[in-house]
Structure 1
């Protein structure tokens, strides 16, 4: 990936096989705007084309993952403008990204910020502040920084809504550190198998159970045409660590 400089995001490679995108509009609490998404989509496209990157972390700041869409950008727009120019349509491009994306959420994740986290495959959240990515995003909870460890918040976060995969420790930077560690684990696997697994999971949301299982089974069959399938099963039988070629 090039060392391209962006205005509203930062890109890095915090670990082998892992790319990281950090939203960087601190004065606006990382509010989402069209220029930010143009940069985000550009960075995603570059990471997607880079064979050395096999998993991605998306994060914001300790105070705010993303405080919703930028209302200042929207308030004066009119129908003819937003319809003709397909306003916001490119904001969901990341859902077509083939590599796993982990959202590391700390602080506020409101409105569009919650939706951005939900477009990722896995969400890790910090308990430092209560955020809508830890509960019902359509109701936006209270946004008042309430303690996320209160029992009613725990129920919304885990038992009822299931939006967050795991709430991590409270230390500064810990949610990003754990997301990078998880991404590193994913990156250590066969890239082609991981991407096929993501495709199967996503397809299951759009099909019946029978069709989803059939789709997953066909992808499983297809893995037998890969070198990594032979290497993985041989390594398991021989009780050794596999050496993936991602082919």
Structure 2
């Protein structure tokens, strides 16, 4: 894609690290950043040489401290809907990626930043991470899917409490609530852990990985029968070359050589 202004990219052995690179603004999400995230994820999802994605923020203070308040302040009832729906579309793209996406959360993940982290398939947090949906302090509510994803991840009662009070929680509480998968001490450990998880996943059958993600998403998709989605996906797996290779490798007591076919 064109030269990026708000993101920094690094590709290492098929793992793409996307860094939101607005450190002076605590990596706040403005429309430019959202547009670049959309284009970058679209390209990464279509790129056969990329098997997994890490999303993080520049510096030590913030993953994403929230939306850009200067843009928020100009919203009204008409363009506010467009603002919300655009963000939801981009975050749905991330959540629907057939390639695993890990949010590596360093520092503040507030408002749109917390929503962005929740749109990823997994979350790893440093000890200084802080999560929250403080939109009520601005007379607003989460607009990028936060009311839905936070409820799915931590349960109705706790989600309502966090969104109504606007309180922040630390990495330890986020871990206990199931909002994050792992808590580590430093940013270096956080990125290393994310790379470790993705490296393990890349040894598995790519089509099956994508279908697991799709089936889990179906749990929370209104009107979709997740059990039927699972049965359909299992059937599709059985028709792949990877399934033949995986079962044969098991019987022959060797490591499988998956090709995503």
Question: 1:104 is matched with which residue?
Answer: 104
Determine whether 1:163 maps to 2:179: yes
Question: 2:65 is matched with which residue?
Answer: 67
Determine whether 1:18 maps to 2:33: no
Determine whether 1:214 maps to 2:210: no
Question: 1:76 is matched with which residue?
Answer: 74
Alpha carbons of 1:95 and 1:130: their partners in 2 closer, same or farther (altered >3 Å)? closer
Determine whether 1:90 maps to 2:86: yes
Asked if 2 retains the 8 angstrom alpha-carbon contact of 1:53 and 1:187, the reply is no
Alpha carbons of 1:190 and 1:39: their partners in 2 closer, same or farther (altered >3 Å)? same
How far apart are residue 185 of structure 1 and its match? 1.6
Alpha carbons of 1:171 and 1:78: their partners in 2 closer, same or farther (altered >3 Å)? closer
The whole-number CA distance in structure 1 between the counterparts of 2:202 and 2:219 is 23
Which of 214-223 and 89-98 deviates more? 89-98
The whole-number CA distance in structure 1 between the counterparts of 2:26 and 2:44 is 25
Alignment of 1:25-174 (within 5 A): 25-61=22-58, 62-83=60-81, 86-92=82-88, 93=90, 94-132=94-132, 138=163, 139-142=165-168, 148=170, 154=172, 156-159=173-176, 161-168=177-184, 170-174=185-189
TM-score (norm 2): 0.80
Asked if 1 retains the 8 angstrom alpha-carbon contact of 2:245 and 2:257, the reply is yes
Please give the per-residue CA displacement for 1:157-194, whole angstroms capped at 9, x wherever unaligned: 234x31111112x1342211211221122122211110
TM-score (norm 1): 0.84
Q: Secondary structure at the match of 1:77?
A: coil
The whole-number CA distance in structure 2 between the counterparts of 1:242 and 1:76 is 55
Alpha carbons of 1:96 and 1:214: their partners in 2 closer, same or farther (altered >3 Å)? closer
Q: Secondary structure at the match of 1:131?
A: strand
Q: Secondary structure at the match of 1:20?
A: strand
Q: Secondary structure at the match of 1:241?
A: coil
Asked if 2 retains the 8 angstrom alpha-carbon contact of 1:11 and 1:43, the reply is no
Please give the per-residue CA displacement for 1:8-32, whole angstroms capped at 9, x wherever unaligned: 0111113x22111110001100001
- In structure 1, stretches of 5+ residues that fail to align are none
Which of 73-82 and 230-239 deviates more? 73-82
The whole-number CA distance in structure 1 between the counterparts of 2:84 and 2:251 is 50
How far apart are residue 226 of structure 1 and its match? 0.2
Q: Secondary structure at the match of 2:109?
A: strand
Q: Secondary structure at the match of 1:173?
A: helix
Asked if 2 retains the 8 angstrom alpha-carbon contact of 1:34 and 1:88, the reply is no
CA RMSD of aligned residues (A): 2.4
- In structure 2, stretches of 5+ residues that fail to align are 134-152
